Chain A
Amino acid sequence: MSDNPVARRLSRVAGWDAAIIVVAILALVVAGGAVENFATTRNVGFLVLDLLPIALLALPMTLVIITGEIDLSVASTLGLTSAVLGSLWNSGMAIETIIPLCVLLGAVLGAVNGVFVTVFRLPSLAVTIGTMALFRGLAFVVLGDSAVADFPAAFTGWATGTIGDGPVPNVLVPLLVLAAVFVVVLHATPVGRAVFAAGASEQTARFSGVRVDRLKFWLFVASGAVAGLAGVLWTLRYSSARADNGFGLELAVVAAVLLGGVSIFGGKGAMPGVLAGVLLLATVQNALRLEDVSNEALNIVTGALLIVSVLLPNIGRSVRAATHRRRLRQSPTDPIS
């Protein structure tokens, strides 16, 4: 019955996608012009390093949210892998062995979420709030409140270094590779088609031969594995394995994804928008930090952006609906046209 508003809403989602890209670019330009030291090679390098964990975690998170689920445990998974990395390194294991083990650990942690959601059929929100506490708690159990810092310089140097000592940070390479993979998977493979279908109508997806549970399970595994990788990179970047690494990062990740135009109810969203959302968030944070705004105060901005990203489209919809009603009331004789 409500044919047209829906059509308009859909086109507006595409619109939001484009808009957020424009806004992100605008934010870069404005920051570059207005904020001292923003447009320096050094700072842009930092910007990339800063957005790296958010960007990495946002990739699988986008798919998870589009299927109508959520994974709030990613930051804790990052913390736990970081703690395990430190602990294994302390125990004398080779770093070349530890790193793949950590990514595997992330995948296993993701599988735990996946089992709770798809086998026991528990709501992912509750499950991942639980594992958020569980994984973070285990991180403290593993490492306490100590820190491990003496990682080999070759690795920590790589994580903070640039390609051929030019302006491009090394870590941009794995990020771009993964981003490309996720863009292709979401937008140009049968898996991606299934992700959208499962999120927009799980029943129809099942009736169309999509193995929804299996799909969701592997998305949680992917989310965990990427969080594990992010934990490794985080540890190497700061040369510091700590149990509280990445504390609260899930907020920034969810904020970036929603800012990028993904619907919290599932079924809608696109990767370019999400990447723009990450960029926007990181730019704003970086610029404000250069303006000497404290990290904690920055949270106001992140939190507000999260709410606004959902609020704005809703307000737009209400305004449109209201004008539509008014128009109808003004022309009561011919409501059909």
Chain B
Amino acid sequence: MSTVTTAGATAAGGRIGALLRVRELGIVLALAVLVGYTAFVNPRFLSGQSVRDILLGTAILAVLAVGQAIVIITRNIDLSVGSVLGLSAFAVGTVVQDNPGMPVFVALLLGIAIGGVCGLVNAVLVRYGRVPALVVTLGTLYVFRGITYSWAGGQQITADELPKRFLGFAGESVLGVPWLVVIALLVVAVAGVVLRNYRVGRELYAMGSNPEAATLAGIRVGRNTLGAFAVSGALAGLAGVLFAVRFGTIDAAAGTGYELNVVAAAVVGGVAVFGGSGTVWGAALGALLLTVIGNALAVLDINQFWQQAIVGALILLAIGVDRLVAARTARALKNRNGHVR
């Protein structure tokens, strides 16, 4: 929806400080309640270390969720992101281990490149093989993960095998904001602006909204699909490097099961499962919410195992609410046109 926007999207159209969509407002409210309650029960929740943990966790998940949102908006899905993250993390970890002098930004670029290639594999299969994205990325979820396992075997890269400079990146910050968070914010901002204010971004929405009409409207659907999957892969690759930097310990299982959290973040953040609507800002908010829930469970001394169940319940809740809202809107629009046909 064109009227959908968030603060910060200062388009030339000049709707500065445009309205938060109800959906995103809902998440912000839920976050406020959750944070308020948790901090009330256990003030430790708002300590510097805890907040830092949440922000770092959100940064990785948000980068993934942005890529996922772009793909879902085009009415596709990318289930392979967790595996791409694992492959990228292990590959970059290995390279950095062997070349301790390598600058961090080169490592970031390497991760992006590896992820981009994985994304292109998905894209080519979807675009030229005409295989549904669900099937392709469910397949490559296992293929990419299998490749990582075959390569790594039982081997593990531990923090003391990685150069200090690389790991130190996680601790460094600009103006008090950790680099990881800065990178994530950059990703969200750039993707947000492109999706909202550039032709190619609007074309992605058009494709998801009505695929046949998109073709008839002369939109280069193929090129855009390739691009969307490549970006999602590249961002998953980037997230892999962030993962390596943050945790320092990488094995072949890195990022296993992440795809569920990523899809959940996007869907909870208001990205419609069947494309055409939603924003990367929403997806990032979804990532923040999921991460906060995870950390709040620990602080509130609730069984950690609830986390995954909550993710599942949130997905169901989100799609249920979306359906309800859509039905309401449809009825309202119909009544406004109000004539018996």
Contact = CB atoms under 8 A, between A and B. Distances in A.
Contact of B141 (A122, A145, A303): A303
A69 B3 CA distance: 33
Interface in A103-124: 116, 120-123
B323 interface: yes
A307 B131 contact: yes
A200 interface: no
Question: Secondary structure of the B side of the interface?
Answer: helix
B139 interface: yes
Interface stretch (A136-144, A182-190, A213-221): A136-144
Contacts, number: 142
Contacts of A123: 273-274, 319
Contacts of B140: 303, 307
A141 B149 contact: no
A130 B309 contact: no
Interface string B137-151: 011111101110110
B252 interface: yes
B126 to A, nearest CB: 10
Nearest to A254: B138
Contacts of B149: 294, 296-297, 299
Interface in A124-152: 125-127, 129-138, 140-141, 144-145
A296 B305 CA distance: 24
Nearest to A122: B319
B316 A116 contact: yes
Interface residues of B, number: 43
Interface stretch (B164-172, B206-214, B221-229, B260-268): B260-268
Nearest to A302: B142
Nearest to A252: B142
A319 interface: no
Given A258-B135, A306-B139, 15 more contacts: A120-B323, A127-B316, A127-B319, A130-B315, A134-B309, A135-B312, A140-B309, A251-B142, A294-B149, A296-B150, A300-B150, A301-B146, A303-B138, A306-B138, A314-B129
Interface of A: 70, 116, 120-123, 125-127, 129-138, 140-141, 144-145, 243, 248, 251, 254-255, 258, 264-265, 294, 296-304, 306-307, 310-311, 314-315, 318
Interface of B: 77, 125, 129-132, 134-136, 138-143, 145-147, 149-150, 153, 252, 260, 263-264, 267, 273-274, 303, 305-313, 315-316, 319-320, 323
18 contacts: A121-B323, A122-B319, A123-B274, A125-B134, A132-B312, A133-B260, A133-B264, A133-B311, A135-B312, A136-B308, A137-B311, A141-B303, A251-B142, A296-B149, A300-B147, A303-B143, A307-B129, A311-B129
